[in-house]
Amino acid sequence: MRATTPAFVLRRVRWSESSLILTLLSLDFGRISGIAKGALRPKSQYYGQLEMFSCTEISLSRREGRELDTVTGAVALNHNEGIRRDPLAFAFACLFAEWVLATVTHDNEPVRSVFLLFGEVMNRLAGDDAPWSVICAGIERLLRFTGHGIETGTCTRCGREAGKCPEWDPLSGGVVCDKCLSNEQNISPGLLEYLRKAGSREFNEVVKTRLWPGGFRQCHDLMREFAETRLEHRMSLKSLSVVEDIENADRG
């Protein structure tokens, strides 16, 4: 079957002398993998069209039951150069891509909402918004869109209103009311308020939210622990240390 779809390049792995194996987040087929033969040759039709995080109109030859498609054409729709020009924006984009790769599997139904979210996050990372706030707003939505949403309103044990100072239990999916007290963990009131806002407001508004210094990092780590509990696997998030290195260098 031949197909064409817009797709973001999430991962590029060199395969053989001149070919690439790509992991793509596509509008029409969700997460797919494709081999682009000869893509690394300077005169290749793919040259400059399949850079990290660019949004590309990609043509594929797909075969039922095969994990790896063959790329037959690629024309970049949006190069997202702003991301690749700025090391910190690039590191954050890598971090978000790692989150997408951890939560979106090949078996997922086409996830248009995740595709659109990815584009939005890339635009904002290339712009003036604070990157940690973009990342946290993006991850909160990503978890919801992939079926791992954080419950912040009703008790995950009994379904009653969880109240102002609930407990926190990633295993049951979020907050726990005081009637179902379980001596689990607490969640900081500030993070709970942020997550409630993130779950109910427009992305644009959530991105503009400010937290205390280090608050978004705490929020990221809370969502990471939540996701790892729900997904039952650790996420390596290698880009996180790159983000930290760049931030520390900027501070020093």
Which of 182/241 has CB closer to Zn ion?
A: 182
The DSSP bridge pattern shows strands 167-169 and 174-176 to be: antiparallel
Give the Cα separation of 24 and 55 in Å (integer).
10
**Tokens representing 99?**
């989150």
- Is 177 an interacting residue with respect to Zn ion (CB under 5 A)? yes
Q: Which of 22/180 has CB closer to Zn ion?
A: 180
Q: Binding Zn ion by CB under 5 A: which of 13, 68, 75, 158?
A: 158
Task: Determine the Cα–Cα distance for residues 224 and 229; give it in Å rounded to an integer.
Answer: 8
Nearest-approach distance from CB 148 to Zn ion, in angstroms? 20
> Which of these segments, 174-182, 184-192, 212-220, 240-248, binds Zn ion (CB under 5 A)?
174-182
155 near Zn ion, judged by CB under 5 A: yes
Piece of 62-70, 155-163, 195-203, 235-243 that binds Zn ion (CB under 5 A): 155-163
SS (H, E, C) 171-231: HHCEEECHHHCCCCEECCHHHHHHHHHHHHCCHHHHHCCCCCCCHHHHHHHHHHHHHHHHH
- Binding window for Zn ion (CB under 5 A); candidates: 1-9, 91-99, 148-156, 209-217: 148-156
- Return the number of the residue (157 or 230) whose C-beta is nearest Zn ion: 157
Beta bridge partners of 71: 60
Residue 156 CB, nearest approach to Zn ion (Å)? 8
Give the side-chain half-sphere CA count within 13 A for 179.
Answer: 10
- Residues from 180 through 209 that contact Zn ion (CB under 5 A): 180
Cβ-contact 96, 220 below 8 angstroms:
no
Binding interface with Zn ion (CB under 5 A): 155, 157-158, 177, 179-180
